[in-house]
């Protein structure tokens, strides 16, 4: 069986205590001056400031060392005819996004491994690879960088295991369960050596 090569960024699935993800999110603003492209699953970090209503701003995570605030799980439409798709690089207004920012959330993410994912990398830490969103897909093109697995405490993700589904194996493009290791609301930790 081959895994589908279909990255969708960070998708919340459950909490560390085993409970199904409860859907709780917080509202953030992406300011009109921001030049990033955003989709569902985009990793975001805090940005200085906010809007006139006191809603704090976020911006896209762009570097491997960036601490994460969370993952975009929805965009709040301002009207019934608001377009569906990614938030564009050129913005004529602020956009309001729903962000899963709970540091106990477990996410599903696709790894960029071209060969079998080594089981020795389970329980390691890893960085994100931020891919450009293309076309009209509403999903982020972000993956776990399988080449960065290490014990380093500042890496963004902690690998908890393989997604246990019939359509997922450890071959190329495997789907992994991760938590944010370098989270703005709690510090990163060393991985198991």
**pLDDT tens digits in sequence order for the chain, 193 residues long:** 689 999 999 999 999 999 999 999 999 999 999 999 999 999 999 999 999 999 999 999 988 888 999 999 999 987 777 766 789 999 999 999 999 999 999 999 999 999 999 999 999 999 999 988 877 788 999 999 999 898 888 899 999 999 999 999 999 999 999 999 999 988 766 665 4
- Rounded Cα distance between 121 and 146, Å, is 9
Q: How far apart are CA 126 and CA 34, in angstroms?
A: 27
Whole-model pTM: value is: 0.92
Residues 6+ apart with CB under 8 A from 157: 109, 125, 126, 127, 128, 144, 178, 179, 180, 181, 182
Given a contact cutoff of 8 angstroms between Cβ atoms, the answer to whether 75 and 95 are in contact is yes
Cα 13 from chain centroid (whole Å) = 12
């Amino acid at each position: 069986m081959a895994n589908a090569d279909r990255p969708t960024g960070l998708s919340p699935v459950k909490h560390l205590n085993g409970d199904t993800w409860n859907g709780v999110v917080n509202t953030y603003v992406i300011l009109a001056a921001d030049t990033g492209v955003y989709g569902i699953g985009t990793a975001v970090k805090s940005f200085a400031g906010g809007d006139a209503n006191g809603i704090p701003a976020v911006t896209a995570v762009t570097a491997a060392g960036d601490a994460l605030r969370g993952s975009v799980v929805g965009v709040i439409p301002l009207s019934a005819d608001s377009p569906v798709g990614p938030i564009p690089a050129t913005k004529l207004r602020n956009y309001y996004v729903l962000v899963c920012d709970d540091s106990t959330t477990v996410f599903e993410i696709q790894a960029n491994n071209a060969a079998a994912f080594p089981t020795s990398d389970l329980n390691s830490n890893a960085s994100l690879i931020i891919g450009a969103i293309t076309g009209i897909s509403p999903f982020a093109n972000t993956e776990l960088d399988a080449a960065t697995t290490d014990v380093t405490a500042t890496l963004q993700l902690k690998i908890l295991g393989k997604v246990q589904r019939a359509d997922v194996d450890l071959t190329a493009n495997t789907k992994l369960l991760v938590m944010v290791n370098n989270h703005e609301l709690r510090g990163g930790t060393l991985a198991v050596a």
